[in-house]
Chains A and B, each alone.
Chain A
Amino acid sequence: MKKNWWKVLAVVIMTYVILQGLLGVVPRQPILNESIRNVYFHVPLWFGMVILLLTSAIYSIKYLRSGRPDDDRVAVEFANTSILFGLLGCATGSLWANYTWGEPWPNDPKLNSVAVGMLMYLAYLILRGSFDDEQRRARISAVYNIFAFAVFIPLIFIVPRLNASLHPGNGGNPAFGKYDMDNNLRLVFYPAIIGFTLLGVWITELRVRMRRLQAMLDE
Chain B
Amino acid sequence: MRISLFMVGLLASLLLHSQTLLAQQPIADGVDMADRLRADGKIWVVVAVIAAVFAGIVIYLVRLDMRLGKLEKESHTTLNRGHDVLRQN
Residues of A within 8 A of B (CB): 4, 7, 11, 14-15, 18-19, 22-25, 28-30, 33-34, 202-203, 206, 209-210, 212-213, 216-217
Contacts and interface: CB of A to CB of B under 8 A. Distances in A.
A34 B61 contact: no
- SS of B interface (majority): helix
B36 to A, nearest CB: 11
Among B30, B46, B64, max chain A CB count under 10 A is at B64
B64 A23 contact: no
Contacts, number: 57
Contacts of A209: 68, 72
B2 to A, nearest CB: 28
Nearest to B58: A11
A25 B26 CA distance: 12
Interface residues of B, number: 27
Contacts of A213: 68, 71-72, 75
Nearest to B53: A18
Given A18-B54, A22-B50, A206-B68, A28 B31 contact: yes
A206 B65 contact: yes
A23 B68 contact: no
A214 to B, nearest CB: 10
B54 A15 contact: yes
Given A14-B54, A206-B64, A213-B75, A25 B23 contact: yes
Given A11-B58, A206-B68, A23 B47 contact: yes
B10 interface: no
A12 B4 CA distance: 28
B32 interface: yes
21 contacts: A4-B65, A15-B51, A15-B54, A19-B51, A22-B47, A22-B50, A23-B20, A23-B23, A23-B43, A23-B47, A24-B19, A28-B31, A30-B31, A34-B33, A206-B61, A206-B64, A206-B68, A212-B72, A213-B68, A213-B75, A216-B79
